[in-house]
Amino acid sequence: MEAGVPEQRPHMRLRGSHRRAFVLGNIAIKVPRRGRLREAARANRAEARLWREGWQRFYPELCPVIACLPFGVALVMPAVRLMNPEEFRVFSESEAYPVHQPDPELYESKLGEWGYLDGRAVVVDYAMRCHMTEEDIALIDPAVRTIDAVERYFGVT
């Protein structure tokens, strides 16, 4: 823990547009918000799929997925300490901030989506594609649209 940076409470409830995240000790559980079951479950399944396919080998900023319940009703990740506005500003302007070309469009880079896990910056919401239209997906560079394409792009077979 860095000096002057408050710790998050061991039991917290955080709210996004489709999901709520409950932080219980060292784990975070993402569940659908009321009336958002379909969208939230799709986001949970998308993050679990990206992790299972191994996207983190090429995009190490992705927060690990520990488990996903059937149908995406809940997703379990390690709890992180979210960056405060000043930390995010400094991080986003630093050399440590990941800039991908071509950009796979996995996440939005904004406050509330980045935190620290064991001192390492990680993004906790990387289900952006499941909220995109087919036309938006088509705009993503084909070299980073699927895990097979990413592996070819980085020369991994």
Digit-by-digit pLDDT tens for the chain (157 residues) are 443 333 554 455 566 678 999 999 999 999 998 888 999 999 999 999 999 999 999 999 999 999 999 999 999 999 999 999 999 999 999 999 999 999 999 999 999 999 999 999 999 999 999 999 999 999 999 999 999 999 999 998 6
Residue 2 lies in a domain: no
Residue 1 lies in a domain: no
132: phi then psi, degrees, rounded to nearest 5: -95, 155
Residue 84 lies in a domain: yes
The total domain count for the chain is: 1
Residue 5 lies in a domain: no
Residue 18 lies in a domain: yes
Q: Domain containing 127: what range?
A: 11-153
